[in-house]
């Protein structure tokens, strides 16, 4: 799954990175109803977007728009993030420096990603997401996950969402998701990011 060419380029460019992957990923692909080709998702510890131009210049990668590429030999989609986890202008978690040292998200960061990314991106949890969250929550909710999610969504929304997931209830209403998005607009400068995206 790891693309050696991509990581060679990141090392040459001296850009620290953290791969977004979890210990239950492989098992979770088995529950999908159709053949699923996993993406490579990577957070880069830089605000510079120069890496986009670098990858565009390489014949190995096809540019898909924004911060996404497709690697030709494996037909694997690559999505790049910069410093934080986000969906569009909804930046919901700044990645800790230790994750870039370890070149992988911490488990707590990854769980937050699994909780919020599908809701913001798809407005639902696919079977693979449900499978991962069930496994992570099987032994209780990690304290750090509660803290980080509360920081993003506030206590009320965070408690409600964690309660549903803990009870394996993955039916999240559109109204609830809208409330989450509204809350996220008021952290990490997301409201300004939204205005810029709509004006420019």
Q: Which of 27-41, 58-72, 83-97 has the lowest mean pLDDT?
A: 27-41
User: What is the rounded CA–CA span in Å between residue 143 and residue 27?
Assistant: 25
Model's pTM, two decimal places?
Answer: 0.93
103: left (phi over 0), alpha (psi -120 to 50) or beta: left
Percent of the chain at pLDDT exceeding 70? 98
What average pLDDT score do residues 25-54 get? 90
Cα–Cα distances in angstroms (integers) from residue 122 to residues 5, 117, 169, in the given order: 30, 8, 17
Indicate the pLDDT class of residue 104, thresholds 50, 70 and 90.
Answer: very high
Indicate the pLDDT class of residue 3, thresholds 50, 70 and 90.
Answer: low
Q: Which two tokens stand for residue 108?
A: 């707590």
Residue 44, beta-bridge partner list: 17, 82
User: What is the rounded CA–CA span in Å between residue 47 and residue 84?
Assistant: 10
Indicate the pLDDT class of residue 1, thresholds 50, 70 and 90.
Answer: very low
User: What is the rounded CA–CA span in Å between residue 137 and residue 109?
Assistant: 14
Question: What integer pLDDT is reported at residue 37 of this predicted model?
Answer: 79
* pLDDT > 50? residue 4: yes
Average pLDDT, rounded, for the chain = 94
Q: Which two tokens stand for residue 58?
A: 């390489």
Residue with tokens 């999505």, as numbered in its chain: 79
User: What is the rounded CA–CA span in Å between residue 101 and residue 76?
Assistant: 25
Residues 6+ apart with CB under 8 A from 137: 165, 166
């Amino acid at each position: 799954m790891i693309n050696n060419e991509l990581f060679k380029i990141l090392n040459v460019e001296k850009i620290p990175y953290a791969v977004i992957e979890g210990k239950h990923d492989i098992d979770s692909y088995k529950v999908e109803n159709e053949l699923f080709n996993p993406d490579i998702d990577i957070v880069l510890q830089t605000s510079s977007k120069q890496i986009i131009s670098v990858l565009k210049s390489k014949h190995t990668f096809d540019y898909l728009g924004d911060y996404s590429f497709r690697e030709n030999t494996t037909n694997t989609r690559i999505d790049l993030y910069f410093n934080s986890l986000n969906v569009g202008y909804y930046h919901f978690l700044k990645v800790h420096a230790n994750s870039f040292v370890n070149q992988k998200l911490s488990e707590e960061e990854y769980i937050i990603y699994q909780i919020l990314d599908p809701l913001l991106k798809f407005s639902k949890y696919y079977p693979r997401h449900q499978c991962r969250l069930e496994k992570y929550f099987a032994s209780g909710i990690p304290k750090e996950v509660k803290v980080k999610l509360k920081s993003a969504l506030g206590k009320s929304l965070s408690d409600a969402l964690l309660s549903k997931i803990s009870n394996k209830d993955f039916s999240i209403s559109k109204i609830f998701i809208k409330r989450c998005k509204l809350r996220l607009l008021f952290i990490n400068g997301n409201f300004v990011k939204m205005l810029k995206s709509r004006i420019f």
